[in-house]
Structures are given as structure tokens and as C-alpha cells.
Structure 1
């Protein structure tokens, strides 16, 4: 299929997974971009992080509620079981209702700073969500490449076992005619036994890689295609570090948390300031004709006393805290200590990102050099094996020489496949540490991307007390119904062509 050019939302880089040219492939083949799209839609770590961010969004509405009016209604019905012996006017029963409206006017800055802190934590949470997203993508890329690598290694070991089985048969035949000794047969048997052991180990590794892939993606790997190139990789480590300091979501989140802690210090200081609120209240009491006593009207006639009492009041309330046992000062000091902690954690995060970026760059460069060396080793070992076999046919080489040459050729091929995997994973990790490996950068074709701002805008200004959401349902897919994986390798996976990053 013709490749599409994908663009980063950041003007400084191109899309992470754009493909320059890609051949047509069967419909059942899985691409790296498809695996990432599935993980993006159904990985439980990522879907759980989104739910956690939605919970963080609600803190803004919670803090705003502290500055909004509050309306309370209370009601009671009282039936007197035993009337007081010294009271002759006590009612037998009472129906009472009372309502009060309170409007905060000034809360010492607690509401304003609390809202600012909550908004800043929303921004920090959104950055952390980006970090989780890139972490899942990095793990998915590693799992994808592990399956490709381990499939190739299993195929190489299977081929090695078949070659050694032929060698053993040929050795036995030559031993029967007296051309070789028992030692040559024993050497062939030993190498075949070791090769079968290596094959079993590689098969177990492949099963582990496939199960890990299922845990991340939610589906079994099926005919994984060679991954595309990774454009936008930096030319030198310092340029990567500069991009990471600007775009890495962990650094952005740490800085936002530090900013939120500063607002929380101001919120704590509000507890020693005066507060002012306005209120109005109304009451209604009905004694239900059970209030003893009588009264005279204007004509002197005896009538029943009043059975209903109504009242209403309005005013303002000023509260000036004078002494609270040292609690406010302790809370302020605690908030200041937490702010200090967040400052140190921001520096710690920056250090970690710088180290990770430089290490990923070094690992990527080292793997590229290993690929070159391994390609040379594969070519040289193949020529060496052919020469040793030719020399053995004329009697100048022993069976042990052939076995050693075959083992060396196998090691070179395994090292090449492993180096290709390591280079690609290191390159993707480098982009992730730079902050350029999230869904917006990948151009995933799995539907609309999740936008955390949609939920934040939906809930930040809600006032209604009964505005609940629907009961939550699982978003991530379960893998309990997937079949246990095996170590069977399809012909397409036997000879992988891993694109160099």
C-alpha cells in the first residue's frame, strides 16, 4: 500500500510512524500501527488512567462549590409521650419546618486558591496521562519487536537442529564405513543435543513474548509485519535533551504539581483570615391543636390560643478567628513542606529524563553499530561455513570444525536479529523520552482520539446536586478467552525484515 505522510502536531517534528513506501500485505497481517491502535483503545492501564483523570477533573467543581450558595431545609415531627409535670402549656405534638440560605461573600481566599490549585492539578494530570500513554506505547513496541525477534530465533534454531540432524546422520554413515571415529559421532550428538535445548529455550521465550503482547494489546499476535522507520530521531544527544526538557510530559506534570502546591499554601493561610457570609432563614411550626392555653378576643370571649408560629430573618455573619490551638500554622507549614518536596521532585524528574534521553540515544547508536558488525559477521560466517565444508570434503577439516562454523553462523544471525530489535526499541524509547511518542504523534487509525479536555469542560461548571453520571462499565477488553500461545512460526515470521530505525 502507498505510504502516507503523517505530521506531528508539533511543528518541529514529523510523524513517528510514517512509512515512505510499503508493499501490499494480506488483510490478516498485523502492523505496528494497528497494534498501537488496539492498545490505545483497550489497554486497562491506559483506560484506568483516563478514569483517574476524570476523577481529578471533579476537584475543580468541588472547590468551586465552597464559594456557592447553600440551601438547607429541615423538617421534624414530634409526639410527646410523657409531658413535663411542671409545664401546663407544653404541646402534645409539633410539626416543624425550617429553611436557611447561606451565601459566602469572603472566605479568606481559600476558594479562589483552591480552584486554582485544582485547575493546575488537572493540567498536571493531563500531562501524566500523556506519559502513561507513551509508556504503554513503548511497552507495546517492545512486545511487538520481541515477538518478531523470538520468532526469528526459533526459526534459526529449528534450521540449526535440522542441519545438525543431517550432520549426525552423515557422521554415522561415515563411521560405519570407517571414515570417521566414535569421537566424531559423539561430537555431533553433543551439538545436536545442545541445539535442541536451545530450541526449547527459544520456544519458551517466544511463548512468553506472545503472552506479554496479548496482555498489552488484548489480542494474539498474527503475522506481524516489519515495522516502519522512525523519522525525527535526533542527530546528537544534546538536541534530544533540549526537546525533552520542553516536551516531556513527566517534566510538565512535575512543574504543574509544584505550581499547585504553591496555591495550596495560600489556601492553608486562608484559615487565619476573617470570613463573611450572608444568610436568610425562615421557620414554620404547627402545634396541631395540641398547645394548651387560651386567649380572649376583643369582645372578651375565650378562644383557643395560636397553634401556628412563623418566623423569618436575614443578616450577615462575620467570623474572625483569634486562636485555633496552632492548627492553622501547622497546616501552613505542612503545605510549605509539601511544596518544597514538589520542587525537589521536579528536579529529580528532570534529572531522570535527561539520563533516560542520553541513555536511550547511546543505546540506539550502539545498536546501530552492532547491526553493522552483525551483518558483516553473518556474511563472513556464511562464507567460512561453506569453506570449512568444502575443506572437510577433501579431508583437511574435521567434523568439529564444521560444527564450530555452524555454531558461529547461528550466533551471528541471532545477534543480528537481536540488534535490530534493540535498535528499534531504543529509537522509540528515545522519541518517547523526548515527548514525541503519544497518540497525537502516531496518527492512529483507530477512531477518534481520547481528549481529556472534553470531560473537563463538561464537569467544571456543573451546579446541580443530582447530576450523576451513569454507572461505570469496563472499557478495556479481557483476555481470558484467548487461547494459550504456542511456539509455531509461520513462514512470514521465519525471515523477518526489520526496518532500520
Structure 2
């Protein structure tokens, strides 16, 4: 079989996951894309990651500020409580004001490389934000499919309990007329008790899945529709890995972090180089007519001396570090070690992505094969159950044979819906590992998508010290008002 035929067969198998009988009713079905859109807008993990990225954006103007002029103005007023005994000219009170402008001219490359490191870390943060988005979407897909699976499993268990209740009643009736023994009745009672236990477990599993769905999406799952076919699935594991190596956001983030660590080494090296800055200073002092001492005019008359002093200066300052106790070298070595760590981290992430992609592809492929096998098992189990019941009616099969056949049929159907769930989740995991499980890839109907570059472009060139944002308000939706989920089957939800 050619690779193309294998790929087409797999895509067809995935497409079958979205086909199921339609249900009547007035409840508007919730789609997987709708659930993803709600999580995209209100999941706290994702909204928190966006806020964290906005904080990372601010590192760029913070680094730029080190290379911008600085202006300081100071003022003071002093009142002499006790004048010096030996000073006759000391002022009683003084008003003093000073202004200073410093302009960095050369900082050894520390500012330039610090800005570059911050810019690269912004890119790394944006890649991490993509990874968070894909991770949240993967969790939502898993929760969505868990609800569909557990809803179907609960429905199967309920049907099984009803069938065993009818079977027990029929067994009792036949026991009353002497057609069956007490052993047959005990076997029916045992299987019914086990079925009720399995039903309770299925109810608990469904409640757990629904509550997990609420935690991720923000709303209770109601009338979930069948998921759509997954887009862009690769033909081979090697194809998936090649795409992942280029597009996986975790690899991109690790690469950017390694580049930023290289700039940190250059920033540390700048501590050994000279720095040059320009400055200008101005001062004003007023003694408020309290400065002692007198002067004489040309005729020898006493007059009050100057009570105001003004001064101004401008120049450049060159600082040449000669010895700093070994601190610059230690900082360089530390940042070199951190760069080495970032290099190894990049390789670690790459290894993990390759392993994750191959494992997800293998799981997806195995689940597709499992769907085909389980479908055959379901058909065979149903046929066997029908035959055993018919043979029991003529006395060639026992009640235990019927119970075993019913259990086998239930097990095959549960494994079928589980395989369908696993195939879809594994397929989505392949897409996520390839870096194609983000909002713009999935075509979500979520309005304007969040663009981290909008905030970065807004803040990267800000100069003002009073340019603040509004007070933070919660963005994620709360679930405190959602009702406690009940262990009941949602008839409007479709099979996985």
C-alpha cells in the first residue's frame, strides 16, 4: 500500500469520527470550535500568560532607559536653630535649588546589547505564549472528548443495567416455574450488582469530565456536537518531525533564549570598558537676607552683601575602570555558564519535541487501527449476543452464556468509544507538536485574535515617566456560579 493511500485511509478514519446519528431537540449544540473560542477568550492560564508577556515587553524600554538622558532637580530649605559660635557670617535660613542633566554617550556596549537581549526575550516570550495557547487547546480538546466519551459510556452502562434488570426478572420468572435453578438467579443477581457498580463509576467519571471541562472552558458542557475532522495531519512520523523542528514554539523559544544569553555575556563584558557621559549643572541659593557680613561702597558706607548665589557648569565625564575586585570577570563567567545552559536547554527541548511528536503520531496511528478492530468487535459481539439468546430459547445455551455475551458486547462498545476519543486527542496532539494548533490555525470564531505585537509596539518607544496603564482587572471568566454537575446522560450530546 502506498504512503498516499495510507494517508487517505487515515484521514477518512478521522473524518468518520465526526459522523454520528442526529438528535432532535431545541438545545443549541456546542461545537468543539465554540469551546476552543471560549477558552481562548477566558481561560485564566492563557490570559495570565498574555499578561506575563506584556510584562516581558516592558524590559525593552527599561533597557533603553539606561541610554537616555536623565534630569534631576533637587530643592531644600534650611533654618539655622543654633548658629555656630565662631561664625559671624553663617546664614540664618537658606533656600537651595539644583538641576542636573546627564547624557550617556558611551557605555561600553552595555545598553545596546541589553536592548538586543530584551528584544530577543520578547520574541522568546511570544513563542512561549504560542506554546501555552497550544497546550490549553490540547487540554480543551481532551476535556471535550472526555465528556463525549463518558457520556456515551454512561449511556451504555445504563442500557446494560436495564437489560440485566429485565434478564433478572425473566430468570426469576423461569425459576418460579422450575425452568431454571437458583444458581442461574444468583448469577443474574451478581452480574446486575456489578453492572450497577460500573454505572456508579461511569457517573463519577462523567461528573469529573464535566467539571474539568468547566475549569478549562468556563461554562458547563451542554449538547456537545461531534468534533470536526482534524486538519493538516501528516502522512508519516518523519513528516511531522520535520514540520515540528521548524514550527514548534517551544523550540523557537529555546533558540531565542539561547541568543539572548549570548547578549548577556556582551553586557557583562562592558563592565570592563570606559564610559563617557556629558553633563550640565545649575544651582541657585538664596540666603533670604540672613547672610552675615557687610560690604562697603566707594564712599566707605556699609551695605548688605550678596544674598543670592547662582552657578552653572557643563562638561564631560570619562570613567576608566582599572580594578573592580574581579567582579566583571565573575559576571562574564556566570553569563557564559548561563549561555552554555541555554545551549543545552535548546537541545533538550528539541529532543523532547521529537519524542513527543513521534509518540503522538504512533498513538494516533494505533488508535485508528483500534477503531477498525473495535468496530469489528462490536459487530461480532452484537451478532454473538443475538445468537446466544436465540440458542438459549431452545435450551442449548445457559443464562451464564447470555450474561457473558452481554458483558462482551458492552466491553466492545466501551472500547470503541474510548478508541474514538483517543484517536482524536492523539491526532490533535500531533498537530500541536507540529506547532499548528493555535487560534489562527484552527479558524476560531473568536473575534479579533490576540496579537502580542500590538502591546510591544505600543510600549517599546515610550519615554515618559508617567505613562501608566489602567488598573488591572480580571479577564478570565469565573466558574463560581456554574451549577454542580449531575451524573446524568445528556441526550443531545453526540458520540465521539
Question: Which residue pairs with 2:52 in the alignment?
Answer: 52
Report SS of the residue matched to 1:145: helix
Taking the aligned partners of 1:94 and 1:200, their CA distance within structure 2 comes to 86
Question: Which residue pairs with 1:235 in the alignment?
Answer: 235
Kindly report which structure 2 residues correspond to 1:463-474, keeping only aligned pairs within 5 A, or say none: 463-474=463-474
Cα deviation 1:106-137 (Å, max 9, x = unaligned): 00000000000000000000000000000000
Q: Which stretch has the larger CA shift, 204-213 or 438-447?
A: 438-447
Question: Which residue pairs with 1:462 in the alignment?
Answer: 462
Taking the aligned partners of 2:373 and 2:128, their CA distance within structure 1 comes to 39
Would you say the 8 A contact 2:27–2:492 is kept in 1? no
Would you say the 8 A contact 2:47–2:476 is kept in 1? yes
Taking the aligned partners of 1:290 and 1:469, their CA distance within structure 2 comes to 48
Question: Which residue pairs with 2:360 in the alignment?
Answer: 360
Question: Which residue pairs with 1:345 in the alignment?
Answer: 345
Structure 1 residue 419 and structure 2 residue 419: aligned? Answer: yes
Structure 1 residue 153 and structure 2 residue 153: aligned? Answer: yes
* Structure 1 unaligned spans of 5+: 1-15
CA apart distance, 1:488: 1.2
Taking the aligned partners of 1:255 and 1:393, their CA distance within structure 2 comes to 71
Report SS of the residue matched to 1:395: coil
Cα deviation 1:441-461 (Å, max 9, x = unaligned): 011111100000000000000
Structure 1 residue 165 and structure 2 residue 153: aligned? Answer: no
TM-score (norm 1): 0.94
Question: Which residue pairs with 1:303 in the alignment?
Answer: 303
Cα deviation 1:423-443 (Å, max 9, x = unaligned): 000000000000000011011
* Structure 2 unaligned spans of 5+: 1-13
Taking the aligned partners of 1:228 and 1:497, their CA distance within structure 2 comes to 12
CA apart distance, 1:105: 0.3
Taking the aligned partners of 1:231 and 1:307, their CA distance within structure 2 comes to 84
Residues 316 and 92 of structure 1, relative CA distance in 2, 3 Å threshold: same
Residues 400 and 24 of structure 1, relative CA distance in 2, 3 Å threshold: closer
Kindly report which structure 2 residues correspond to 1:216-295, keeping only aligned pairs within 5 A, or say none: 216-295=216-295
Q: CA RMSD in A?
A: 1.6
CA apart distance, 1:489: 1.1
Cα deviation 1:152-211 (Å, max 9, x = unaligned): 000000000000000000000000000000000000000000000000000000000000
Taking the aligned partners of 1:274 and 1:175, their CA distance within structure 2 comes to 103
Q: Structure 1 residue runs of 4+, over 4 Å off?
A: 19-27
Question: Which residue pairs with 1:75 in the alignment?
Answer: 75
Taking the aligned partners of 2:19 and 2:176, their CA distance within structure 1 comes to 56
Taking the aligned partners of 1:491 and 1:466, their CA distance within structure 2 comes to 57
Would you say the 8 A contact 2:29–2:492 is kept in 1? no
Question: Which residue pairs with 1:9 in the alignment?
Answer: none
CA apart distance, 1:81: 1.0
Kindly report which structure 2 residues correspond to 1:36-51, keeping only aligned pairs within 5 A, or say none: 36-51=36-51
CA apart distance, 1:61: 0.1
Kindly report which structure 2 residues correspond to 1:123-162, keeping only aligned pairs within 5 A, or say none: 123-162=123-162
Taking the aligned partners of 1:31 and 1:337, their CA distance within structure 2 comes to 49
Taking the aligned partners of 2:336 and 2:285, their CA distance within structure 1 comes to 50
Report SS of the residue matched to 1:316: strand
CA apart distance, 1:231: 2.1
Structure 1 residue 381 and structure 2 residue 381: aligned? Answer: yes
Would you say the 8 A contact 2:98–2:284 is kept in 1? yes
Taking the aligned partners of 1:173 and 1:489, their CA distance within structure 2 comes to 31
Residues 262 and 173 of structure 1, relative CA distance in 2, 3 Å threshold: same
Taking the aligned partners of 1:310 and 1:57, their CA distance within structure 2 comes to 44
Would you say the 8 A contact 2:18–2:226 is kept in 1? no
Aligned residues: 480
Question: Which residue pairs with 1:65 in the alignment?
Answer: 65
Structure 1 residue 94 and structure 2 residue 94: aligned? Answer: yes
Taking the aligned partners of 1:138 and 1:492, their CA distance within structure 2 comes to 24
TM-score (norm 2): 0.95
Taking the aligned partners of 1:263 and 1:65, their CA distance within structure 2 comes to 17
CA apart distance, 1:323: 0.5
Taking the aligned partners of 2:355 and 2:188, their CA distance within structure 1 comes to 48
Taking the aligned partners of 1:416 and 1:27, their CA distance within structure 2 comes to 27
Report SS of the residue matched to 2:492: helix
Cα deviation 1:55-95 (Å, max 9, x = unaligned): 00000000000000000000001111111112111111110
Taking the aligned partners of 2:287 and 2:188, their CA distance within structure 1 comes to 108
CA apart distance, 1:24: 11
Taking the aligned partners of 1:199 and 1:303, their CA distance within structure 2 comes to 108
Taking the aligned partners of 2:274 and 2:325, their CA distance within structure 1 comes to 17
Taking the aligned partners of 1:272 and 1:225, their CA distance within structure 2 comes to 65
CA apart distance, 1:491: 2.0
Would you say the 8 A contact 2:153–2:414 is kept in 1? yes
Would you say the 8 A contact 2:27–2:223 is kept in 1? no
Q: Which stretch has the larger CA shift, 73-82 or 31-40?
A: 73-82
Residues 133 and 189 of structure 1, relative CA distance in 2, 3 Å threshold: same
Taking the aligned partners of 1:491 and 1:470, their CA distance within structure 2 comes to 46
Taking the aligned partners of 1:278 and 1:298, their CA distance within structure 2 comes to 43
Residues 21 and 284 of structure 1, relative CA distance in 2, 3 Å threshold: farther
CA apart distance, 1:275: 0.1
Report SS of the residue matched to 1:99: strand
